Amino acid sequence: VCFCFKFRLSYYPHRLESFKEIVRASFFGKCEHNVYGDFKQYTPGQGEVPCYFIHVVKKTT
pLDDT at 1 over 80: no
pLDDT at 59 over 90: yes
pLDDT at 47 over 90: no
Rounded CA-CA distance 59/47 in Å is 30
- Check residues 59 and 47 and name the one with the higher pLDDT: 59
Average confidence (pLDDT) over 44-48: 86
pLDDT digits (tens, 9 = 90+) for 4-40: 788 877 777 888 889 999 999 999 999 999 999 999 9
- Report CA-CA distances (Å) from 49 to 30, 34, 58: 28, 16, 25
